[in-house]
């Protein structure tokens, strides 16, 4: 799994950071999302997909090695 974030779409809600602080971070400068890691372990996959569906702006996408990009905007 590879995570991508679109910082232009991010509203700085902190939701992703609250759910997965080992994966997501928030910039001290503009409050928008930062990635701690773009390729979390397989054990985090389900939690990451949950965050993708909860992000209020659809700023987070994930791509599995053998699947299409998933976005829930
Ligand atoms: S949940 Fe979405 S809008 Fe909120 S900080 Fe994370 S990427 Fe940005």
CATH for 34: 3.30.70.20
In a domain, 62, yes or no: yes
Q: How many domains does the chain have?
A: 1
Q: What span, in angstroms and rounded, lies between the C-alpha atoms of 59 and 73?
A: 8
- Does the model's pTM come out above 0.85? yes
Ligand 1 surroundings by CB, under 6 angstroms: 5, 10-16, 33, 55-57, 59-60
Query: Quick one: pLDDT at residue 5?
Result: 98
Question: Tokens for 18?
Answer: 């609250």
User: What is the 47 CA–ligand 1 centroid distance (Å)?
Assistant: 14
Give the domain extent around 25.
2-67
The span from the first CA to the last CA of the chain, in angstroms, equals: 19
Which of 13, 31, 38 has most ligand 1 atoms within 8 Å of its beta carbon, as the pocket-test mutant?
13
- Whether 73 is covered by a domain: the verdict is no
Cα 36 to Cα 53: distance, rounded to the nearest angstrom: 19
- Segments of the chain with pLDDT less than 70: 65-73
């Amino acid at each position: 799994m590879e995570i991508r974030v679109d910082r232009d779409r991010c509203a700085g809600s902190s939701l992703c950071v609250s759910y997965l602080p080992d994966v997501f971070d928030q910039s001290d400068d503009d409050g928008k999302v930062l990635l701690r890691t773009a390729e979390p372990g397989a054990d985090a996959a389900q939690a990451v997909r949950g965050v993708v569906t909860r992000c209020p702006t659809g700023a987070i996408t994930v791509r599995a090695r053998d699947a299409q990009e998933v976005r829930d905007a």
